[in-house]
């Protein structure tokens, strides 16, 4: 009973904070909320028993936590009514969460720095958009083909990258990301710098996602359709991530992260597992790209620059490497921060950097750091 109560209080407090942070306007409430968040994580760092108690309660009352969060997540758009802007922010948070989980397979699980996730994100978006605009393919049909194209690219990128390590590997991925951006910017059939316009909205059994959602007598903006679609995508990403983490593949990636030489000495095929990490990253990033393209209906090379990859890297590091929940928290925080910091006008980027550095000083290993594997009964 105590565990269920703690789970309920914690879950509702997190949901209330997210709502308050999204609707906060003005310097004072924003700074107060950031201070509250920083104070909570400082308490976790200063008094580990608090964090341990919360984690143990979620482990013991996992079904209660699941029920509460399902209700909260499904009902969240209703809190904003017809305000499309807030729901749009939620959609972008979910898309970046999927991208963060994709990158986490490499950076968090296997310690492989990859600055080309933005490129695979763009490949998924452009493949789906070109298929839809030139051949009239539906959103659902373009999904597997875009994912396949990005996965092939992941293998192509991973194989030559195996001849490098550490900072040199990072440089290879940076160069590859820049090349993809330049190709998208210069090819005529990709629309060049103008990009692709008029990507049709998804439809299901004749029902277009471009029209408002009417439910329980309420009318919600069309962005709500994409919010629920993004929820399905992130649920798929979380399931895949958990299955891989607890599989032999996840163990092999963690072995590479700990000591590549030792992993090779016990028979782990280092090259195969590293290339596999590139492919899985590209596969999930492509799904996010397809959703983004059909949601925004317009894509351009500037949507998939090197800066996107750097932002994703920051999300994984700040949230907590090899921690799925931590990556999602980092994605939400760093997606919402630039929007909320617009109140600081020209000093927005300065305050953005200050906030990120402050959180890394409070929790050097991430807001929700990696935890030791548990081999007991789950």
Which DSSP string do the residues of 197-213 spell out, in sequence order? E-PPPPEETTEETTSPE
Q: Are 117 and 315 in contact (CB under 8 A)?
A: no
Q: What is the DSSP letter of 369?
A: -
pLDDT reading at 208 higher than 90: no
* Residue-wise pLDDT tens digits, 235-271: 999 999 999 988 899 999 999 888 888 888 888 898 8
User: How long, in residues, is the chain?
Assistant: 378
Instruction: Report whether pLDDT(202) > 80.
Output: yes
Helix, coil or strand: residue 299: strand
* Residue 205 CB coordination number (10 Å): 4
Buried/exposed 164-184: b ≥16 CB within 10 Å, e otherwise: eeeeebbebbbebbeebbeeb
Q: Which of these ranges, 12-21, 108-117, 254-263, 363-372, has the smallest mean pLDDT?
A: 363-372
* pLDDT greater than 90 at residue 54: no
> Which band of pLDDT confidence, cut at 50, 70 and 90, is reported for residue 374?
low
8 has pLDDT over 80: yes
Q: On the CB side of 293, how many CA atoms lie within 13 Å of its CA?
A: 35
- Phi-psi region at 368: left, alpha or beta (left = phi > 0; alpha = psi -120 to 50): beta
Cα–Cα dist 292/233, whole Å: 12
Proportion of the chain above pLDDT 90, given as a percent: 47
Q: What is the mean pLDDT of residues 42-47?
A: 88
Measured distance CA(284)–CA(101) in Å, rounded: 8
Quote the pLDDT of residue 101.
94
What pLDDT is stored for residue 376 in this prediction? 52
Residue-averaged pLDDT of the chain: 89
pLDDT at res. 378: 46
Confidence check: pLDDT of 38 > 50: yes
Q: What is the CATH number assigned to the segment(s) 83-345? A: 1.10.3470
Residue 209 structure tokens: 């996602």
Bin 298: left if φ > 0, else alpha if -120 < ψ < 50, else beta: beta
Digit-coded pLDDT (tens) for 147-172: 999 999 998 888 888 777 777 888 88
Q: Is 215 helix (H, G, I), strand (E, B) or coil?
A: strand
Q: Band the pLDDT of 51: cuts 50, 70, 90.
A: confident
Band of pLDDT at residue 85, cut at 50, 70 and 90: very high
Report the candidate in 345, 246, 366, 291 with the shortest Cα–Cα distance to residue 93.
Answer: 291
First to last CA, the chain: 19
In this model, does residue 136 exceed pLDDT 50? yes
- Please state the rounded mean pLDDT for residues 331-353: 84
- Lowest-pLDDT range, 95-99, 170-174, 225-229? 170-174
Among residues of the chain, what percentage have pLDDT more than 70?
Answer: 98
Determine the angle formed by the axes of helices 270-296 and 248-258, rounding to 10 degrees.
110
Residue 371: the pLDDT is 72
Higher pLDDT, 58 or 217: 58
């Amino acid at each position: 009973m105590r565990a269920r109560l703690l789970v309920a209080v914690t879950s509702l407090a997190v949901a209330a904070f997210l709502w308050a942070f999204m609707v906060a306007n003005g310097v004072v409430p924003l700074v107060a909320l950031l201070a509250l968040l920083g104070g909570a994580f400082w308490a976790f760092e200063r008094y580990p028993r608090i964090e341990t108690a919360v984690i143990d309660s979620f482990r013991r009352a996992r079904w209660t936590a699941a029920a509460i969060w399902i209700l909260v997540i499904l009902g969240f758009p209703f809190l904003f009514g017809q305000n499309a802007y807030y729901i749009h922010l939620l959609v972008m948070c979910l898309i970046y969460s999927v991208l963060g989980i994709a990158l986490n397979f490499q950076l968090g699980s296997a310690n492989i720095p990859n600055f080309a996730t933005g490129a695979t994100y763009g490949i998924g978006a452009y493949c789906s958009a070109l298929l839809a605009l030139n051949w009239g393919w539906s959103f659902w049909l373009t999904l597997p083909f875009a994912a396949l194209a990005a996965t092939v690219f992941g293998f192509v990128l991973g194989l030559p990258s195996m001849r490098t390590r550490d900072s040199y590997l990072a440089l290879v991925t940076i160069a590859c990301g820049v090349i993809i951006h330049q190709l998208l910017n210069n090819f005529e059939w990709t629309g060049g710098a103008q990009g692709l316009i008029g990507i049709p909205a998804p439809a299901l059994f004749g029902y277009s996602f471009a029209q408002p959602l009417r439910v329980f007598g309420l009318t919600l903006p069309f962005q709500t359709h994409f919010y629920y679609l993004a929820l399905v995508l992130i649920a798929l990403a979380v399931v895949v991530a958990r299955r891989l983490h607890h599989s032999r593949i996840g163990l092999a990636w963690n072995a590479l992260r700990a000591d590549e030489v030792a992993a090779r000495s016990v028979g782990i095929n280092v090259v195969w597992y590293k290339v596999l990490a590139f492919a899985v990253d590209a596969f999930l990033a492509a799904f996010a790209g397809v959703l983004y393209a059909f949601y925004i209906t317009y894509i351009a090379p500037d949507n998939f620059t090197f800066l996107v990859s750097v932002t994703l890297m920051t999300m994984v590091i700040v949230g907590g490497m090899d921690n799925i929940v931590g990556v999602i928290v980092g994605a939400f925080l760093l997606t919402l921060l630039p929007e909320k910091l617009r109140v600081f006008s020209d000093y927005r980027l300065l305050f953005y950097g200050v906030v990120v550095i402050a959180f890394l000083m409070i929790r050097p290993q991430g807001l929700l750091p990696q935890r030791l594997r548990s081999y007991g009964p789950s």
